[in-house]
Amino acid sequence: MTTEVAAEREATLWHTQTAQQVCQKLDVEVAQGLSTSESQTRLQQYGANRLPEASSRSALLIFISQFSDLMVLILIAAAVVSGLVGELADTITIIVILVLNAVIGFIQEIRAEQAMNALRKLAAPSAKVRRDAQVKTIDADELVPGDIILLDAGDTVPADARLIESANARTDESTLTGESEPVDKHIEPIAKPHALVGDRVNMVFKGSLLTHGRVVAVVAATGLNTELGSIARLLEKEAQPKTPLQERLAILGKQLAFVVLFVCVVLFAVGLLRGEPALLMFLTAVSLAVAAIPEALPAVVNIALAVGARQMSEKNALIRRLPAVESLGSVTYICTDKTGTLTLNKMHASHVFDANTWQASDKVESLNASLLKAMALCNDAQVSADTLIGDPTETAILAFAQDQHQNKDFSRLLENYPRVAEVPFDSVRKSMTTMHREDAVIVAYSKGSPERILSLCTHDASTRLLSDQGRAELLQQARAMAARGQRVLGFAQRIWDRQPSVKDVDSIESGLQFLGFIALIDPPRPEAKEAVRLCQSAGIVPVMITGDHVLTASAIAQELGISRHEDEVLSGEELFHLNDEQLNQVILEKRVYARVSPEQKIRIVEALQKQQQFVAMTGDGVNDAPALRFAHVGIAMGRKGTDVAREASDVILLDDNFATIVHAVRAGRRIYDNIRKFIRYTMTSNAGEVWTLLLAPLVGMPVPLLPIHILWINLVTDGLPGLALSLEKEEPNLMQRPPRPPRESVFANGMWQHILVIGLLIGLLSLGVQVWAIAQGIEHWQTMVFTVLTFSQLAHVMAIRSETQSLLQFGIGSNKKLLFAVSLTIGLQLLIIYLPFFNDIFKTQALSISELLICCGLSFIVFLAVELEKYLVRKKWIYQIQVETGKSA
């Protein structure tokens, strides 16, 4: 898929050709533009310049599709059978749960279509175009390849176009590249055939914004053939994989269906062989099936995820798709953007080189006054109500000058030295010059790339001649700063007796006096380094994927501890030349990917997934949206993210902070642990019921429980404590253990053994009290079996609150909601036993104090057995568990 899109996009390499060659290929004259008739012909050939509409699948079909899962079908069958045998309460409960789950799934699928609609909103509604030698404003949908378009500052680019004329043009391409720095444009050809969007500076792209200057360009691609269109195709084709929980519950449903069917058939056959009435055995088999199916499981899972989503939102992680709550806990790789996520997204002056002292330092004590004035005056940023407005680079320089300038009233500096003329920045010259009146002279301050500024200088700050060796040493100093990922700019000045003409640029920018360098960097967030360390201790690999330059990305990654050396960095150009097999061989060794395209982001995610990694992907731009959908967990930025990225994501970071992802991973792990605890609890309880119902007829005992007893246990005894169990606090060493393998069974690490053994113990205790009570001639033996089964499950839920720690270590009162649920269930059980009104409904009878104590004592054995199991786990005598390394039971 991605290879096809890339091939189509690069079929015609417009950026490698001159503007004249492009116009010749597209058969258009710049002065005339296309004729109306030719534009209509091309519109028929290429189609409208618009992105496709979202899927037209009806809402009803989407809703019905939610009932196709095997677990759902099993529950539907259980509901039908329960209704046929008269258990309408069971039927209603199951139907309510199924409808709730269907609504949640329906909402999630509708979301996918909203991403495409958000993408279409980026298109410009109209365009200024030259046709029939006249300038017209037309609907942007009518643009065709070959149209000559005219853009001014503030215009949204309506199609991908090759520049013909550029007057100080700069565009905001952050939606496509993810980088907030405006891009300087020029018209010269670019030699690199496979240059990425951010490097094709002689083109403008659909959906980007012209922030400065004006442009005349020839349309090269429209609709789906644009860069924005290629992203739309990726969004349309790529489907998001199932979460680990969804896969595990699907497997659980299949396993459960087989076990329930087998046990029911065995029980029914054994009963018939013993001569029992067929109707009685059928009802018993149905009761057993109802007992075995955890009706509350879907509800508890969704409630646990919903509660987790609410808790995450309080920590700035907004969950848009509930299963993502649990998915975060399984993440093994976090592919994160750099700008604004790992960094502050605010340029900051980190080092200054003063030509007066020939020293670079991050601690500024007394800089050359001329250098400070150059920073403040050769600058298009503005101060407005104590706020700096303008280009991020220029506002950072102005902020530094404002902080360091010796004049306390900084605003008077700008007033005392007014700008009288300027030579604007030009991306070919890579410099700008402003002229200011200072007393009786004109001072010209120049700013630009170190190479450009040094080539214009003849003297240093002390007016000494600047030799070739001195110039080389200064250039080496600038390159050393740049090697640390910093953006370096040089400053120089020239004093004139009278104001020169701005038309004579070569004369103005010559014979300059070098003043110094400033190094700027978007610094890492203070909390990012600790968040990266915590990720790594949790067995999660953080990877930086950015549209920024290799040196900058590598420097930030090494400072944060994401990478250790340059060998772990891969550029987009290097990635382009790797086939899938080669990429799979190196993917686990790389930690930084710089200057990458949308298709390459998907390739990276896909390659990691092929290595059995569970991938979370962060992003904010339109270019990130396909990868956000393709990853197991897509995380969009809430502050600087586009609507397209948000719609394609599962999680939105309200503070755009990498540390928030780590908090969300922690919460996801805790929630999955608690879901496992509920499954352990409910499946063990159901196993106890199944063993009780199955063994009694096999040893010649009457059916020990009535259908209403089973319904009570499943809905109340399982439900109330189970819901409270989903709110348990996190296990010790939660973030020091490796992620659970995505394909690991929900029954792994001793759970199925626990369900089998403890379930059998509950069944034997219930059956034992039945045998004893019947032998003693106690008529209400069924009430005792019902009570032992109920209290055993409550003892069990208290014991499994931690998978390894004893209840005393974990804290009896640490989950007050669970204590309340257990206490409430005990109270309700006693009402059923002792109130005549409930005796009639539940067919129970009052127990004596001694009989009640016997039931409690037998149930307490379950608690002791689970505590013994956890002790053996801690001693590593069973299940091969190593608590120290964080592997849980």
| 445 contacts 463 by C-beta, under 8 angstroms | no
Q: What is the residue-wise DSSP string for 438-472?
A: ETTEEEEEEEE-HHHHHHHEEE-TTS-B--HHHHH
| 547 contacts 178 by C-beta, under 8 angstroms | yes
Q: Residue 314, exposed/middle/buried by CB under 10 A (0-12, 13-18, 19+)?
A: exposed
Residues with a known catalytic role: 337
Tokens 């280009």 correspond to 391
Query: Helix, strand, coil shares of the chain as percentages rounded to 5?
Result: 55, 15, 30
Distances in Å between the alpha carbon of 474 and those of 99, 359, 515, 677? 72, 10, 11, 65
Q: What is the residue-wise DSSP string for 22-41?
A: HHHHTT--TTT-B-HHHHHH
What are the beta bridge partners of residue 571? 594
| Residue among 631, 666, 671 nearest 537 (CA) | 666
Radius of gyration of the chain (CA): 35
In whole angstroms, what is the distance from residue 781 CA to residue 501 CA?
Answer: 109
In whole angstroms, what is the distance from residue 130 CA to residue 32 CA?
Answer: 7
SS (H, E, C) 119-177: HHCCCCCEEEEEECCEEEEEEHHHCCCCCEEEEECCCECCCEEEEEEEEEEEEECHHHH
In whole angstroms, what is the distance from residue 658 CA to residue 72 CA?
Answer: 37
In whole angstroms, what is the distance from residue 29 CA to residue 130 CA?
Answer: 10
| 92 contacts 609 by C-beta, under 8 angstroms | no
How is residue 226 written in tokens?
Answer: 């644009």
* Amino acid found at 89: A
* Amino acid found at 159: A
Distances in Å between the alpha carbon of 678 and those of 289, 389, 462, 818, 861? 19, 54, 77, 12, 20
| Residue among 656, 869, 885, 659 nearest 758 (CA) | 869
| Residue among 264, 199, 255, 253 nearest 227 (CA) | 199
How is residue 739 written in tokens?
Answer: 């992620």
| 480 contacts 551 by C-beta, under 8 angstroms | no
Tokens 């720095």 correspond to 181
| Residue among 414, 415, 432 nearest 423 (CA) | 432
| 671 contacts 326 by C-beta, under 8 angstroms | yes
* Amino acid found at 240: Q
Strands 651-653 and 317-319: antiparallel
Phi, psi of 616 (to 5 degrees): -105, 140
State CA 415 to chain mean position distance: 48
Tokens 């786990």 correspond to 873
Show Cβ contacts of residue 58 under 8 Å, excluding neighbours closer than 6 positions: none
* Amino acid found at 708: I
What are the beta bridge partners of residue 163? 217
CA quadruple 768, 771, 776, 778: dihedral sign: positive
